[in-house]
Structure 1
Amino acid sequence: MEKAYKLLALQEHISHKEAKSLIDKGLVSVNGKRLNIARGNLSPKTIFTVEKIQKPQIIFQDSNILALDKPPFVESYDLCKFFPEWNLLHRLDRETSGVILLIKEGSDFHTKAKMEFRAQKVYKEYLAIVNGILSEEVEITKPILTIKKGFAKSKIAKDGLPAHTLITPLQVSGKKTLVQAIIKTGRTHQIRVHLSSISHPIFGDVLYGGSPSSRLMLHAHKIAIFDYEFSSPMPKTFQGIIQ
């Protein structure tokens, strides 16, 4: 047996430091399951799969707004490094893929767009693969409290902020369900916490009780604000799990 990061370094011909970084970023998996502990002991015969960071693709751009198709494993804030003239209007979790919007900081459109988010007038639709068979539509309005100590984690709590999620099952495959999630609010980890609260955590979301996978199976499928509407197709990784 040998430390995982040492074996990865040998396989990829990189330094131990680089190998640890890849594992810490959630980019390494073994047999389709993400590797979480760099110092864990594994067989020398272990074969690692390393996710390659993709460049975000432009869905639409004009003078007001830049819509991007965010790859998984990219921090929302890092998108501005690719497009330095633009700033985030909202954000997605690092492992969540899909549509994300950027604007020009301080513009009239920025001010109006922020007001739309605060007024809960922005349409936000996600796709997720969850553990278990979900056969009926579920509306979840449990309040969410977020605690930030080194990293953010949320939970259902009476003294939390209001949160609203509408879950609709789309397809069942084995003991997994592809669902549509429409949110009116935007609490930290809202969809993840709400689905976990009804015993259907998202596949790959080990933080909230989901089965291990190569990534968090959550995708920002569609967003609409004012007269704009943008969408991103379901990732191929989803299609490989839901057949």
Structure 2
Amino acid sequence: MEFNFILPKNFKEQSISHLLAETWFIPRKQRHFLRMKRHILVNGEPVNDNYRVSASQQITLLFDHEDFPELNVPFGDAKQAEILYEDEHLVIANKPEQMKTHGNSKDELALQNHVAAALKQPVYVVHRLDQATSGLVLFAKNQFVLPLLGQLFEKNKIHRQYLALVKGHFPKEQFIINQPIGNDRHDKSRRIVAKGGQEAITHVEVLQRFPHSTLIRCLLDTGRTHQIRVHLTHLGHPIVGDVLYGGTRNNRLMLHAQELYFKHPFTDQHIKISVDSQTFSENLPDFSAQKRPF
């Protein structure tokens, strides 16, 4: 594999060593291969770790198969992959409700397999959506970019916006839920708000009130398992259709990952992708009569 990059105009001068380890988060093993094989080029010339690079220079990285063993992903059905964005390094697809992000066994086909079939190459899972949740999922197209995208998620530099329909009404139009989340000792499938849990922060904005429910927008600062579902249940407002957390039964879980936005890690381009869900809209109260605020 060969990757070529033109460093953006606002790039801060730094050593090759810092660029690979701290800016692009390339794993130690792959950095070792690049260094030993002299597979790091600047403007076409091999350089060492101490070489300092600056804006507008071209960086070329060469990887052999032994550097990044290829992932074996069985191809699914390309027709089931709704791809909304793609470039050399990443792809964003729209996951329907009740489709898994990835299979739990080699024989189980999921969104990852369908996207791989559409691209005719393996893709790598960066983050996941619950099976019952619809919306945007980001995949890496190579192992080079995978750890970098993972770090961007950890540092809250990839922003995720969700729509949810919840039971009841809130006293405020906007608020922040800052409650740690941990495992439920009595049910391995559930999470709970717990003092010793991991930090979890959810921003909530009310979009529309219905007689017995409220449509809200949620923005995540963290990405804990079931975070939105746990936080809203903790407040006494479970998501409609979320029977695991006490919500009323519905045709589907009323949670949809509507938007992803972030700065591209290599080009500094601002990527913003949004998608609506027909089944989510159809399950809102008085769907045919109401004008939706999204």
- CA distance in structure 1 between the partners assigned to 2:163 and 2:150 by the alignment: 24
Residue 123 (structure 1) aligned to one of 140, 146, 159: 159
Identical-residue share of aligned pairs (%):
32
- Match of residue 61, structure 1, among 69, 80, 86: 86
Task: Tell me if 1:144 matches 2:187.
Answer: no
Q: Which residue of 1 aligns with 2:170?
A: 134
Counterpart residue number, 1:8: none
Q: Are 2:112 and 1:80 aligned?
A: yes
Match of 1:231 in 2: 274
CA distance in 2, matches of 1:57, 1:83: 8
Amino acid at match of 1:56: A
Inter-CA distance 148–220: structure 2 relative to 1 (3 Å threshold): farther
For residues 194-226 of structure 1, give each alpha carbon's deviation from its aligned partner in whole angstroms, at most 9, with x where no partner exists: 000111100000111111111110000101121
Contact 2:256 2:280 in 1 (8 A): no
The structure having more radius of gyration, on CA atoms, is: 2
The alignment's C-alpha RMSD in Å is 1.9
Q: How far 1:96 sits from its partner (Å)? A: 0.3
Q: 1:222·1:232 contact (CA, 8 Å) conserved in 2?
A: yes
Q: What is the CA distance between 1:72 and its match in structure 2? A: 0.3
SS at match of 2:189: strand
Which deviates more, 176-185 or 82-91?
Answer: 82-91
Indicate if the aligned counterparts of 1:203 and 1:210 stay in contact, CA closer than 8 A: yes
Q: What corresponds to 2:23 in structure 1?
A: none
Indicate how the Cα distance of structure 1 residues 200 and 207 shifts in structure 2: closer, same or farther if over 3 A, else same: same
The 3-state SS of whatever aligns with 1:83 is: helix
Q: Deviation digits for residues 49-86 of structure 1, max 9, x if unmatched? A: xxxxx923111111111110100001100212113321
Q: What residue is the counterpart of 1:47 in the other structure?
A: none
* 8 Å CA contact retained: 1:217, 1:238: no
Per the alignment, residue 238 of structure 2 pairs with 201
Q: 1:241 to 1:153 in 2, by over 3 A?
A: same
Name 1:38's counterpart in structure 2: none
TM superposition score normalised by structure 1: 0.73
Determine helix, strand or coil for the equivalent of 1:178. Answer: strand
Are the aligned partners of 1:127 and 1:234 in contact in 2 as well (CA < 8 Å)? no
Look up the match of 1:101.
138
Distance, in Å, in 1 between the alignment partners of 2:143 and 2:187 is 30
CA positional deviation for 1:236: 3.7
Offset of 1:153 from its aligned partner?
A: 1.2
CA distance in 2 between counterparts of 1:103 and 1:195 reads 30
- Distance of 2:272 and 2:168 partners within structure 1: 31
Cα distance in 1, alignment partners of residues 257 and 236 from structure 2: 22
Q: For 1:240 and 1:79, how far apart are their aligned partners in 2?
A: 23
Residues 234, 57 of structure 1: CA spacing in aligned structure 2 closer, same or farther, 3 A cutoff?
same
* TM-score (structure 2 length as normaliser): 0.61
CA shift at 1:185, angstroms? 0.3
Distance verdict in 2 for CA 1:86–1:183, change over 3 Å: same
Letter in 2 for 1:127: L
For 2:175 and 2:244, how far apart are their aligned partners in 1?
A: 22
Whole-Å Cα distance in 2 between the matches of residues 195 and 150 of structure 1? Answer: 18
**Partner Cα distance (1:57, 1:148) in 2:** 38
Question: Secondary structure, in 3 states, of the residue corresponding to 1:82?
Answer: helix
Q: Is the 8 A contact 2:93 2:115 kept in 1?
A: no
Closer, same or farther: CA 228–135 of 1 in aligned 2, 3 Å? same
Tell me the SS of whatever aligns to 1:241: coil
> 2:184 and 2:124 mapped to 1: Cα distance?
25
Gaps of at least 5 residues in structure 2 are: 1-78, 103-109, 117-121, 264-269, 287-294
Give the conservation status (yes or no) of the 8 Å contact 1:122–1:184: no
Structure of higher RCO (CA pairs closer than 8 Å, 6+ residues apart): 1
